Amino acid sequence: MHAILKRLLADRMARGCMVFIAMLLALGVLAPVLPIADPTAIDITGKFQMPGGGHWLGTDQLGRDIFSRLVWGIRTTLCASLAAMLITSAIGALYGAIAGGMRGRVDAVMMRLADVMMSFPSEVLILAIVGMMGPGLTNMIIACVVAKWAWYARMMRTIVRRISDAGYVRFARVCGAGEAWILLRHLAPGAAGEFFVLVTLDTGSVVLMISALSFLGLGVQPPVAEWGMMLSEAKEVMLQYPWQMFWPGVAILSTVACFNFLGDCVRDAFDLRHAGRDGQ
Amino acid sequence: MARMILRRLLLLVPILFGISIVSFVLIALSPSDPAEVAIRVNAMVPTPELIAQTRHELGLDEPMLTRYVHWLGGVMSGDLGRSYVNGRAVAAEIAEAFPATVYLALVTLALILVISLASAVICARYENRLPDKFVRLMIFLTSALPGFWAGLLLMWLFAVELDWLPTSGMRGPESVILPAVTLSLAYVSTYARIVRAEMIRTSHENWVLFARGRGLTDARLTVHVLLNSLRGAATALGMSIPKLIAGAFVVESIFAWPGIGRLCITAIFNRDFPIIQAYVLIMAVLFVLFNLASDVFVAWLDPRERGG
């Protein structure tokens, strides 16, 4: 573990990505106490201001401060994505580990269910679930979890299978190591690393999905600030004020790029060349 | 080969059955009573009598299992129910919108092939030199680019500022360009990466060295290396066709492209459940069928794969 962390920290770009993500998270958490404008304060007389003056990045169609909406947007976009990832990976890991550990009939039944879930393209399932349950942040997170857990479950099962068939685990078993010991000492650390790589690689795509749904009006509802929704508001005034589209897009692009890059770096640090972005 | 196809077709049966159950159960996720929704979307006041009557008309007063069997029977014979909004057959609505989506998907596929193969060839020929690094940076950026943002920027540049292309809708052959380019961006990065890695691996093989020793020109060698590096991409590409159709809803919605993705989004805002349900079902069926087709294709390319 120590060696992996060292290898990761040795990479300048990886450090940069981690700093950027940490900064985003800090900004998001601290948004209520930071000395920035109220993201929902409407000032019709001061709409579409250019950057400068009291507003670093200008104001939007209702005169709201764009910078402060971006910062508050971290709370919705990034936190929703991370929450969705966390729940999905927890359910997927547990399900996959149980299936992989039980083997036999239980495994077969569990994986058939997962196969059915995986036969839906995840975008379609997310769209449909949000569509049925109605727009909203919670529904969007639920939809992401329902659509994606099976992919994680299958990955976890494969990992658990491979590790428990590995020579050193068999050896430990022959030596009389208890199941609990094997689980804690061999399975958990080995599986956690690989699983973590896959989760990091997939986070960017979840951020994209969540902002896309909000862009379509299926996610967060106004007046909450969210990057995708800011873009859809900017679309309405594209003809007169095209620069309104600039900052929310940059925010999404840089966040997703950071997660993708970090995912690649983490994978290299774990030396898992074979683990690709095949989650989807 | 035939045995493998037959075996895979048999395996499809339980999966398709599962898909139908999930698609059917989806409607139960709705927090509102479908009967009430069906009344409201037609701008009527849902009185208790009217709700009871509509429930009966839609068959919602029957037990879930009966409704499922009834629905499945309908689906088998091509009847996907009726839209709550305009009362038209869902199958007809989807059949109308489907060609537009397929057209968009095919144009996008062609674009993906051209762009990703071209960038992979550039990368592999100039491995770790400036052109390779530049193309890889571009590929990396497109993999993080939100499709809807790219779409808006392209629309602004080419339709608003330069006025070369129409902003939206499906009029004339040039109207497909912006949606197709936007949609292709998300996939180019995947294929360019796969093909690049594969080409670099192939180019270190002995037969390439031998061919070079025989005096083959660089251009011909590149063609040979490329052709021998396409297997991974071919498998992935087979899977992308349904993903292109399924993932098109954002792009269709931005560019007002009259495809099934836009149909489904409109249906979501109208709470037109039968259309959403049919959309999910069709997408999943397409997905598994294409999956099978791409496996068969790979088996045909490489006999070693035929066992599984």
The partner residue sitting opposite B279, judged by closest CB among A128, A248, A257, is A128
A52 strand-pairing partners = A55
Burial class (CB in 10 A: 0-12, 13-18, 19+), A171: exposed
Residue B270 Cα, gap to closest chain A Cα (Å): 10
DSSP per-residue letters across A1-34: -HHHHHHHHH-HHHHHHHHHHHHHHHHHHHTTTS
Q: Which amino acid is at A227?
A: W
**B8 contacts: CB under 8 Å, gap ≥ 6:** B292, B295, B296
Distance, CA of A269 to CA of A163 (rounded, Å): 19
Q: Which one of A112, A120, A231 has the shortest CB-CB distance to B152?
A: A231
**CB pair distance less than 8 Å for B144 and A115:** no
User: What residues in A contact B141, CB-CB < 8 Å?
Assistant: 253, 257
d(CA A264, CA A250): 21
The dihedral over CA atoms of A185, A190, A193, A196, expressed in degrees to the nearest 10, equals -100
**Cβ contact B283–A121 (<8 Å):** yes
Task: Please give the Cα distance from B102 to B122 (Å, whole number).
Answer: 30
d(CA B117, CA B237): 12
Question: What is the model's pTM?
Answer: 0.82
Report A:41-80 residues touching B (Cβ under 8 A). none
Q: How many CB pairs under 8 A join A and B?
A: 137
A175-187 burial: b if 16+ Cβ within 10 Å, else e: eeeeeeebbeebb
Q: Are B278 and B94 in contact (CB under 8 A)?
A: yes
Q: Is A129 on the interface with B (CB under 8 A)?
A: yes
Radius of gyration (C-alpha) of chain B in whole angstroms: 24
List pLDDT tens digits, range B100-156: 888 888 899 889 888 888 888 888 888 778 888 888 888 888 888 888 888 888 888
Across the interface, of A119, A204, A261, the residue whose CB is closest to B284 is A119
- Chain A residues inside the 8 Å CB shell of B283: 120-121, 124
Of B17, B25, B29, which to mutate for an interface test with A (greatest number of A Cβ within 10 Å)? B29
Question: How distant is the Cα of B301 from the closest Cα of chain A, in angstroms?
Answer: 22
Q: Which candidate, A278, A225, A171, A184, places its Cα nearest to that of A38?
A: A225
The stretch B264-289 carries a mean pLDDT of 86
Residue A22 CB burial class (10 angstroms; 0-12, 13-18, ≥19): exposed
Q: Give strand pairing partners of A55.
A: A52
Q: State yes or no: cis peptide before B258, omega within 30 of 0.
A: no
Where does residue B85 rank: exposed (0-12), middle (13-18), buried (19+ CB within 10 A)?
A: middle
Contact A31, A71 (CB under 8 A): yes
Torsion of the alpha carbons at A207, A211, A212 and A216, rounded to the nearest 10: 160
User: HSE (CB half, 13 Å, CA atoms) of A117?
Assistant: 22
Q: What is the pLDDT along chain A (280 residues), one digit of tens a residue?
A: 667 777 777 778 888 888 888 888 888 888 777 777 677 766 666 666 666 666 666 676 666 777 878 888 888 888 888 899 999 999 998 898 888 877 788 888 888 888 888 888 888 888 888 888 888 888 889 999 988 899 899 888 888 888 888 778 788 878 877 777 777 777 777 788 888 888 888 888 888 888 888 888 888 877 778 888 888 888 877 777 777 788 888 888 989 888 888 888 888 777 655 444 433 3
Report CB contact under 8 Å: A261, B246. Answer: no
Q: Which residues 73-112 of chain A have a CB within 8 Å of chain B?
A: 112
Select from B148, B155, B157, B239 the residue whose CB has the most chain A CBs within 10 Å, as the one to mutate to test that interface. B148
Cβ of B82: how many Cβ atoms within 10 Å?
19
A215 shares contact with chain B (CB less than 8 Å): yes
B-contacting residues in A 144-173 (Cβ below 8 Å): none
Percent pLDDT > 90 in chain B is 0
Instruction: Give B77's pLDDT tier (boundaries 50, 70, 90).
Output: confident
Instruction: Tell me the longest C-alpha to C-alpha distance in chain B.
Output: 87
**Does B265 sit within 8 Å of A132, measured CB to CB?**
no
Chain A residues inside the 8 Å CB shell of B151: none
- Are B144 and A256 a contacting pair at CB < 8 A? yes
Domains of chain B plus CATH, in order, are 98-307 (1.10.3720.10)
Q: Output the CA torsion sign for B13, B15, B21, B23.
A: negative
Residues whose CB is less than 8 angstroms from the CB of residue B85 and which lie 6 or more positions away in sequence, other chains included = B41, B42, B267, B270, B272
Take residue B72 and report the two structure tokens written for it: 């499945």
> Which of chain A's residues have a Cβ under 8 Å away from the Cβ of B246?
121, 123-124
Judge whether A268 is closer than 8 Å to chain B, CB to CB: no
